Amino acid sequence: MKKLALFLLVMLWGFHVAFAADGNPPVPALKAPVNDYANIIPDSTEAALNRSLAEYSEKTSNQIAILTTDDFGGLDVEEYSILVATTWALGQKGVDNGILVTINPVARKVRIEVGYGFEGIVTDVRSGEIIDSVKPLLKEGRYDLGVVEIVRRLRADMGGDIAYAELKARRDAQTAKDVERFKAFVVDALIAIIVIACIVGVVLVVRMFWKMATLRRQIAEETDRLIASFSAEEASFHRQRENAKSHVTPDFLSEIDGRMKRIKDNFEHDVNILAHSGPNTFGDLRGEVTSAIYAVSALMRVLRGARETVSGVGSKINEAENQIGLAESAVMRSGVSARRRDQVAQERQRYESIRSSISRSPSPQVFDYLSATVILGQIIDTVRSIREEAIEESTPRPTYVPTPRQSSFSPRQGNYRSSSSNSKPSSGHTSPSRPSRGDDDSPRRNVSVPDTGYSSPSVSIDTYSGGGGGFGGGGASGDF
């Protein structure tokens, strides 16, 4: 046993030497709960605090130690507090329910070092609030009152006189409750999210089906409208065909009927696909179906134009015959040159050639009628011009003989004088002069002018303008 004790003493001395060699300052001894090495706390206050803190430790197993010192041994307040609290091993083993309050009046530093057991209760923020509340007392040198206030606040935060085990049990129970409450919240939130997602999903599905049904209805309505439009155009086409039947050739009608059959077949095929199409392809198919309707309208215009063209040839022939007859009569008048008669004869020959070519053709096309209409129009214009020129040539021109009358005007007197060869010279007659324009006596020059019964209109000019030992640094420090 003696050898074992000696070995332990040697080991402790070795640790002391190693610690000193590490450069850390010596740690003052733990004498009592209050260790006033700076002599700033009155003895009465120190004794009362020692007694109160000892009783508090016996009841709760919690330990609060007070250290006042003038020197941190070259360390800052946090490092020195951790060194002292770890060396003193405040609190119960495995619990670390101890707190160290360090005050240096020379450096004017204060530190509350909290053990691991109370880090969840006396937090760093709470330690800072306690230090802030006693800074005015420490600045005034009333250290005893400051220490007492720190101890009071710490005991209150550490559960008062409740044992640490009970406090820990309560805290664990509260933590368990909080965990259960959080779990319940998470479960409720998940349920709510699932319910909301289901509701939203149902709404989206219903909306999608409603939209699809609406689109289907619109497609059906549009398809029916297009079919009705095509049917109306088809009926109009057949009416136009009947009207043009007697004016155009069978070959022309056969070609038009073939085009109409191809258009109708394509229309029925597209409408069948359109009625079963989706919204993505509806637009393209609708355009094709609409184009078929426009194609029928174009065919009707072709028929109408053909009928009107063929019908117009007859009226052109009659008009040309009439105009040529009038021109032939005009060129036979006296005084008309033979060149005019030759021109009319040439136009008559062109007319007969066009008329005979249309009558001899077994199946004249619409183009033939169009060409004939143009040529007949040219013939009509030409013979009309020849007729007008022939009439002008055959009409005698009148001879102009001037009348032997003379008239003169005297601007000075404003008189007109007329004379003829068998009349005597008239005596000078002066027309009455116009009255002066004012009644003032200013001199004016009165000019007599003939009264012609015409008065000059008045002219006005407008003017315009614009524009815890388990301590690991938990706690807080402060200056005062």
Amino acid sitting at position 292: A
| Of 167-176, 225-234, 307-316, 391-400, minimum mean pLDDT range | 307-316
Q: What is the pLDDT of residues 376-429, one digit of tens each?
A: 888 889 988 888 888 888 887 665 556 655 544 444 444 444 444 344 444 444
Q: Verify that 148 and 283 share a domain, yes or no.
A: no
Q: Is residue 325 part of a domain?
A: yes
Q: Is residue 434 part of a domain?
A: no
Q: Verify that 121 and 38 share a domain, yes or no.
A: yes
Q: State yes or no: pLDDT of 320 exceeds 60.
A: yes
CATH number of the CATH domain containing 143: 3.10.310.50
Q: Verify that 54 and 116 share a domain, yes or no.
A: yes
Last residue of a domain, one of 139, 162, 185: 162
Q: Is residue 453 part of a domain?
A: no
Average pLDDT, the chain: 75
Q: Verify that 230 and 129 share a domain, yes or no.
A: no
Global pTM exceeds 0.85 = no
Q: Is residue 401 part of a domain?
A: no
Count of structural domains, the chain: 3
Work out the average pLDDT over 2-9.
47
Q: Verify that 294 and 388 share a domain, yes or no.
A: no
Q: Verify that 41 and 128 share a domain, yes or no.
A: yes
Instruction: Identify the domain containing residue 329 by its residue range.
Output: 309-393
Q: Is residue 174 part of a domain?
A: no
Last residue of a domain, one of 368, 393, 418: 393
Q: Verify that 17 and 43 share a domain, yes or no.
A: yes
Q: Is residue 13 part of a domain?
A: yes
List Cβ<8 Å contacts ≥24 apart for 208-214. 212/279
Q: Is residue 130 part of a domain?
A: yes
Query: Given pLDDT bands bounded at 50, 70 and 90, which one contains residue 306?
Result: low
Q: State yes or no: pLDDT of 303 exceeds 80.
A: no
Work out the average pLDDT over 346-365.
73
Q: What is the pLDDT of residues 79-98, one digit of tens each?
A: 999 999 999 988 888 888 89
Q: What is the pLDDT of residues 183-214, one digit of tens each?
A: 899 999 999 999 999 999 999 999 988 887 88
The fraction of the chain above a pLDDT of 70, given in percent, is: 68
Q: Verify that 319 and 266 share a domain, yes or no.
A: no
Q: Verify that 11 and 122 share a domain, yes or no.
A: yes
Cα separation, 64 vs 41, whole angstroms: 16
Q: Verify that 297 and 338 share a domain, yes or no.
A: no
Q: Verify that 320 and 273 share a domain, yes or no.
A: no
Q: Verify that 247 and 230 share a domain, yes or no.
A: yes
Q: Is residue 415 part of a domain?
A: no
Last residue of a domain, one of 162, 184, 214: 162
